[in-house]
Amino acid sequence: MRPPLPRRTLLPVIWVTFAAGLLALRPAPVAPPAGPALVVMLTVDQMRGDYLARFQGQWRGGFRRLLDAGAVFPNGLQDHAITETAPGHSTLLSGRDPAHTGIIVNSLGVQDSSVELVGMPGSRGASPHRFQGTTLVDWMQRRDPGFRFLAVSDKDRAAMLPVGRARGPVFWDVGGTFTTSTYYSDTLPAWLRAWQARRGAARLAGTSWTLLRPESEYPEADAQPWEHDGADYVFPHRLPDDSLKVAQQLASYPWMDSLTLDLALDGARAMGLGQRATPDMLVIGLSATDYIGHRYGPDSREIHDHLLRLDLWLGTFLDSLRTQVGGRPILLALSADHGVTSFPEFARTQGRPGGRIGLGALVREVNRALASRLQDSTVLEESSGLIFGDRARLRAAGVSPESLATALAARVWRMPGVQNAWTPATLEGAAVSDLHARRWVRLLPPKFAWFVAAQAKPGYIWADGPGYATHGTTNPDDVNVPLVFYGPGIRPGVYPDTVRTVDIAPTLARLLRVPAQGKLDGRPIRRVTD
């Protein structure tokens, strides 16, 4: 038996007991909600995987913060063929390859004549009607019926496809005005109309795009005559004085991204995103890098200066967003929909191979030959190394699709700059051992009607003419993109692992403890989740 407590200890014990009773009568302090207030999916269109490292000594804003405090994967992959905007964005929050999202090419992306643009009667609208399956937005909404999201981008497909078929506030730019389609709503919210009334784009009329830093900090040559189709390829680049023309041209200037970020902040504030105990989501597609990259190329002074500006804007954006959510943590994923290949003219000045493959000319020639039997000169189409079309119509007109595919593949294979070409009959066998063939398998749905899928040699691009840089091949410059995770519980570091954009959704789902739906092609990245 324990001995009785000495008398001198009784008073403290009684006091502690009494005090505990008083505390029990008082309301317990409310702990801040665990986990992030907001999940942000940030996509920089056409941001190559090497950009973060190439300019890392000059980052001062958002990119600096992500490199210092995020889990950075420079060897990220959009690991499929036709590295274009629509298929790339469809992978980001779905966890699935384009073969399973149904979004395989821009021209068969979000165009939808059954809906209109809000405020533009008679216009052809856009929707995710071709998208198949679910996304992280659906998974979060299924767990939490009060979940809210906002998606904004300059491009319609960049705003829509990361969130799949979910209906909600999804906005994109049309001729200088952010809008949506009747798939989502019949009206625009008051906060968006108020934002439009500030006429941010119009106020940029007559503004010149000059270098942000001293010229000595840009190693790239400015006067490159192959850029921008041989016109306006030297700084400064001036916006028109006419505000209507500004709206038409602004997408190719850095300020488009600053306006998109500003719109996202306004919308998140008006909707109260990040103010609940469980997280909401903000999806942002920044498109100016793509337009500038097409005009001036990935090796230009213009892309360098634009990224320096974007770095500062992202830093301000992250600070402002954190303030809006009351200082609670934000979980952010950053990636890109594709990379880009250098101008062939630039590559050759560096002693590298480079050239253009004019697949469009071949398709037009074959279409003309088929026109007499089909009364249609557009039965075949091409995009980024793929020739596709209506096989049933050909068969009905007495043309064997299999024989046509074999004949086309032989011609494509002989074109300068083509490394390989496959037909539906040969692709599956080749994919066992060929990385590029596997990327085509990850792109093409089993029932999609196609004839030839081709691989370009390194440095070559699918283009009928000069004047622009582009993407779309299965080569590293187009496939390689950055992946960055930033937020609570993320271990900072630069990791050499090869990861894929289809891994983003399952990784975020694991971090958020949200069950995924359906069969995924991606998997959680253990460096981030463990």
DSSP string, 53-115: HHTGGG--SHHHHHHHHSEEEEEEE--SSS--HHHHHHHHTT-S-HHHHS---GGGSSEETTS
Helix (H, G, I), strand (E, B) or coil at 415: coil
pLDDT given at position 355: 97
Q: Please report, for the chain, how many H helices and E strands are present, in that order.
A: 21, 20
Residue 77 forms beta bridges with which residues? 480, 500
> Distance (Å, rounded) from C-alpha 335 to C-alpha 38?
17
Say if residue 328 is in the same domain as residue 415.
no
pLDDT at 528: 95
In angstroms, rounded to a whole number, what is the distance separating the alpha carbons of residues 233 and 252?
13
284 and 62 Cβ atoms separated by less than 8 Å? no
- Helical (H) or strand (E) element with 265: helix 255-271
Output the domain CATH number for residue 360.
Answer: 3.30.1360.150
Q: What is the mean pLDDT of the segment spanning 164-181?
A: 96
Instruction: Please indicate, yes or no, if residue 463 is contained in any of the structural domains.
Output: no
Q: How far apart are the first and last CA of the chain?
A: 49
Q: In whole numbers, what is the pLDDT of the chain averaged over residues?
A: 92
* Residue 154, domain extent: 38-348+474-529
Domain boundary, last residue among 457, 488, 519: 457
What would the two tokens of residue 213 be?
């830093």
pLDDT tier, 373 (very low <50, low <70, confident <90, very high otherwise): confident
**What's the pLDDT score for residue 377?**
86
Query: What is the structure's pLDDT at 512?
Result: 96
The reply to whether 466 falls in a domain is no
**pLDDT surpassing 50 at residue 18:** no
425/478 same-domain check: no
Q: Is the pLDDT of residue 126 over 90?
A: yes
Residues 226 and 367 grouped into a single domain: no
pLDDT of 5 = 37
In the chain, % of residues over pLDDT 70: 94
Specify whether 315 is located in the same domain as 388. no
Are 502 and 421 in the same domain?
no
Q: How many domains is the chain built from?
A: 2
Cβ within 8 Å of residue 128, ≥6 positions away? 110, 160, 161, 163, 164, 165, 183
pLDDT at position 275 over 70 = yes
User: Residue 100: pLDDT above 60?
Assistant: yes
Indicate whether 19 pLDDT > 90. no
**83 part of a folded domain:** yes
Residues 185 and 299 in one domain: yes
Q: What is the pLDDT of residue 34?
A: 60
Residue 340 and residue 359 share a domain: no
Q: Is the pLDDT of residue 461 over 80?
A: yes
Write down the pLDDT at residue 3. Answer: 42
The pLDDT of residue 10: 30
- Would you place residue 137 in the very low, low, confident or very high pLDDT band (cuts 50, 70, 90)? very high
**Tokens 């402002």, located at residue:** 320
pLDDT confidence band for 293 (50 / 70 / 90): very high
Pairing of strands 280-286, 38-44: parallel
Does residue 27 register a pLDDT over 90? no
379 and 453 belong to one structural domain: yes
| 330 domain-assigned | yes
Indicate whether 110 and 135 sit together in one domain.
yes
Identify whether residues 442 and 484 lie together within a single domain. no
* Each residue's pLDDT tens digit, 76-98: 999 999 999 999 999 999 999 99
Band the pLDDT of 248: cuts 50, 70, 90: confident
Does residue 23 sit within a domain?
Answer: no
* Mean pLDDT, range 310-337, rounded to an integer: 97
- Can you give the CATH number for the domain in which 293 is found? 3.40.720.10
pLDDT greater at residue 379 or residue 6: 379
pLDDT for residue 183 is more than 60:
yes
Domain finish residue from 457, 488, 503? 457
pLDDT tens digits along 52-81: 999 999 999 999 999 999 999 999 999 999
Q: Is residue 438, in this structure, part of any structural domain at all?
A: yes
Mean pLDDT, to the nearest integer, of 144-171?
98
163 pLDDT above the threshold of 60: yes
Measured CA to CA, the distance from residue 358 to residue 222 in angstroms comes to: 28
In the predicted model, what is the mean pLDDT of residues 225-248? 92
What mean pLDDT comes out for the span 469-485? 98
Which residue, 428, 457, 486, sits at the end of a domain?
Answer: 457
In this structure, the answer to whether residues 519 and 416 fall within a common structural domain is no
In a domain, 4, yes or no: no
Between residues 373 and 33, the one the model is more confident about: 373
The C-alpha R_g of the chain, in whole angstroms, comes to 26
Q: Is residue 15 part of a domain?
A: no
DSSP label of 6? P
State whether 82 and 216 are in the same domain: yes
Cα(99)–Cα(526) distance, rounded to whole angstroms? 25
Angle between helices 288-296 and 301-324 in degrees, nearest 10: 180
To 5 degrees, how large is the angle CA 63–CA 68–CA 69? Answer: 100
